[in-house]
Amino acid sequence: MRRLLLALPFALLPLAIAQAADEHDHDHEHGSLGAHEHGVGRLNAALDGQTLELELESPAMNLVGFEHAATSDADMAKVAAARAQLEKPLALFSLPAAAGCKVASQKLESPLFGDKPDADDHDDDDHDEDAKGGEAHHHDHSEIHAHYQFTCAAPGALTTLDLANIFNTFPATQKIQVQLISPNGQQGTEVTAKSAALKF
């Protein structure tokens, strides 16, 4: 399922993050290149033929307002609400109806969801984290990962990707760093609530 995203130029991502950190928060540069920066999410997007893959990674703080295990009823309700929103990717990513996209698969991962027993296992860098380069497992304790694959009947209608609904739904998210591969090439960019759309 990750074959499209494996082609992403991950080498560009630390540069974009480092530049953003230079402009904004110097205190976030302590060795991790801002990989886990509150208010900042990451989106990998790849369009190949009729297949669109989107992979969203975000600190839990951006989506639910905390990073600890949900134990109170109020916290569990926030986690359930965030998960319910993430389970509606067609609405969340505002995919144009003309493209005729249907969800082929979706996978949500976070220790907060309680459905991935090995999420906080200390051996987790021995298995599926390696498929993503291994760098993410240090932050898994407080990250939410959402991976979607769509089949689009008219992919030519996917001219833009509008992330406004993500900012509206999760207002603690201030910016999203995007890596995008499409038939027109690849680009790395950063979107904010005020400028939430990018061109394929």
pLDDT at 106 over 90: yes
Summarize pLDDT for 115-156 with one digit per residue, the tens: 544 434 444 444 444 444 444 444 445 899 999 999 999 999
Residue 109 CA from chain centroid, whole number: 11
Min mean pLDDT across 18-27, 63-72, 109-118, 151-160 is at: 18-27
Query: For residue 63, what pLDDT is reported?
Result: 96
Read off the pLDDT of each residue in 66-70 and give the average, rounded to a whole number.
Answer: 89
Please state the pTM of the whole predicted model.
0.72
Contact criterion met (CB below 8 Å) for 25 and 34: yes
